[in-house]
Structure 1
Amino acid sequence: MLLDSRRLLYFLRIAEFESFSQAAKSLHIAQPALSHHVRQLEESLGVSLFNRRSRGITLTEEGTALLHHARSIVSRIEDAENELRNRTLEVTGSITLGLASSIAAPLTPLLLNSVHSKHKGITLHLVEGTSAALAEWVISERLDMALNLEDVVEHRCMPLFNEDLYLVGPAGAFANDGATQISFKAATLRPLMLPARHHSMRMLIEREAVKRTLTIKTAYEIDGHGPLKAAIAAGFGHSILSWAAIQQECAAGLLSAARIVRPSLRRTMVLDMPTRGQPSRASLAIRTILHEIIAELFRSKTWHGQLRFQPGTSSE
């Protein structure tokens, strides 16, 4: 190869200063050595790159033609070096991540374990909240990002997965692996314990009931997944929840569930982020970890539903 990055850099400095002596000083090399490298470059290319005059030097036509290419080549080499250098540096920073209540409990240990093993320089602050609160906190930039329901997010966001909804009862009411199915109409005939009317899950259920001219029998109103699941386990009634929200209790034999069909009830979880500015390296690292964890949860059938991204692709 006739051209190498060092000689191209020398050539650029001489063209910039229009002086061998000034270029040599900026490069911290002796002027004779710099002149020798340029002569070798000219001989290898078979052209003169500089007009050498007593009052200074100027580029020849061939030198001007090389100048554009040399700038591009040296710039690309520097970009590659910087990118590779940055990849070896530890990712640091503080990220505040909001989690919808339905997925906070199962995701928390997985997130902490992955961040600790892969990015010890990242301080992760987890915040559990209602869907409405998470959406508001992202807008106000109290959160760097949030796993939330698509229905409550007002701007464009990153879809993660669709999750099926289940009629949840005490142990023994249904299979504990989620294999049982029940029609939406049959589910509405059960006394249901639901969150307050402003809650996104309640609105989804009632919207579907109105479409089908069905009446919801609300036995109790309970906000909060912990109290709601405790009431179900104690036999006070049924509720409608996602599999992610109940998978651990079903596996432990505390609850059971039937997937709602005819029609299937689903909702979409997204990664909501502020629209201003570019994400930090720490933010991108957490996004990648979230993708990896969620992809594995669906691959292993721990969670039920449909991924909305291609596993293994970069979230950047």
Structure 2
Amino acid sequence: MELRQLRYFVAIVDHGSLSRAARVLHIVQPALTQQLQQLEEELGATLLHRSAQGMQATDAGKIFYEHALAILKQVSDARSAVAQSTDKPSGTVALGIPQSASGALAFPLLKAVRAAYPDIVFQLTEELTGNLTEQLRSGRLNLAILFDDGQLGGFASKPLVEEEMMYITRTDSQFACKRKSITLAQALQATLILPSIQHGVRPRIEQVVREQGKHIENVIDITSIAILKSALLADMGATILPVSPMLAEIERGEMRACPISDVQLSRTVTLCASKNIPLTNAAMAVEKLVLELTRDLSTSGKWLGTSILVAQ
């Protein structure tokens, strides 16, 4: 198996066509077809099939595609690590961020990296927490923002902030809290619109509710943060979440966040990297910038509901 075969295979999947992939790769289509056949023979599996939508990966091809991306990224990182200097880091850095944290951190981080390190190609990916964990483990991501649920032992982790979860509604909602704070029992009386279990925040909420001897009666599960916001604005219910995903709506006065007074409901936001794959100089530069930026956002009050952790 050769690296060029991996590149060829990935190009076919990405472009959905042998002819388009051949043009992008600057090779003739028969040579591309031959390399694909050799790869499939070596693996003993059919990786692609032709459909009305073009060339598509088989189930085996989908699995191999993920591994091929990870291998090609690690090769690229290795080349960058040898070539780059510590004074002027360059190369590609892929960082993953959960949907529920991107509102506070994604855009400031994008601006900060572009300003501080113009030679770094910064790839910022927003995903469900479970997807980020898998991509970081496979090497497709250099870094990821994750929530410490006690299952991060396989990663090199640096705590960033502790982020409080609050009871959030539309400002004039029928479910809005009547005072400056609300108890957990009162919050659970409302119809709750919560992220699905794949989100890092949901297991934490369920854990605290169980510890208090209670359970969630009325819940609407929504995977997408954007759809969850729309449901809140339509007054279909309330939510229990960190403020960061709703920050813009709260600042515009469209939503209201109310502290939960009788329980400690928060999550630990953590920066993670693989223990097995070394960080390039560029990735280490971005890692340092993430630590500095989260400290600034928290202490300035721009990242509401957070407190810096001493471990930084």
Distance 2:261 2:137 in 1: 35
Residue of structure 2 in register with 1:253 after alignment: 253
Contact 1:180-1:257 at 8 Å conserved across structures: no
- Of 273-282 and 115-124, deviating more is 273-282
TM-score, normalisation: structure 2: 0.66
Q: CA RMSD in A?
A: 2.3
Q: Does 1:201 align with 2:201?
A: yes
Deviation per residue, 1:269-289 (Å, 9 max, x gap): 111111114321101110121
* SS in structure 2 of the partner of residue 105 of structure 1: helix
Residue identity over aligned pairs, in percent, reads 24
Quick one: which amino acid aligns to residue 142 of structure 1?
R
For residues 254 and 149 of structure 1, what CA distance do their matches in structure 2 show?
27
Match of 2:94 in 1: 96
Contact 1:247 1:302 in 2 (8 A): no
In 2, distance between residues paired with 1:121 and 1:218? 50
User: Are the aligned partners of 2:143 and 2:272 in contact in 1 as well (CA < 8 Å)?
Assistant: yes
Alpha-carbon contact 2:128-2:198 (below 8 Å) kept: no
- For residues 207-235 of structure 1, the C-alpha deviation after alignment (integer angstroms, 9 at most, x for no partner) is 22222222312242111111101110111
Gaps of 5+ in 1: 1-85, 312-316
**Where has structure 1 moved over 4 Å in runs of 4 or more?**
none
Does the CA contact (< 8 Å) of 2:103 and 2:246 recur in 1?
Answer: no
Alignment match, 1:306: 307
* Corresponding position of 1:153: 152
CA distance in 1, matches of 2:277, 2:197: 35
1:190 is the counterpart of 2:190: yes
Confirm or deny that 1:113 pairs with 2:98.
no
Q: 1:91 is aligned with what amino acid?
A: P
Q: Give the number of aligned pairs.
A: 223
- Kindly state the Cα deviation for residue 119 of structure 1 after the two structures are TM-superposed: 0.7
* 8 Å contact from structure 2 (residues 91, 121) kept in 1: yes
Give 1:96 deviation, angstroms: 0.4
Q: Measured at CA, do residues 200 and 110 of structure 1 come closer, stay the same or move farther in structure 2, by a change above 3 Å?
A: closer
From the superposition, tell whether residues 98 and 297 of structure 1 become closer, same or farther in structure 2 (CA, over 3 Å). same
User: Could you tell me the TM-score, scaled by structure 1's length?
Assistant: 0.65
Identify the match of residue 132 of structure 1 among 92, 107, 130. Answer: 130
CA pair 95-264 structure 1, distance change in 2 beyond 3 A: same
Q: How many Å separate the matches in 2 of 1:196 and 1:249?
A: 21
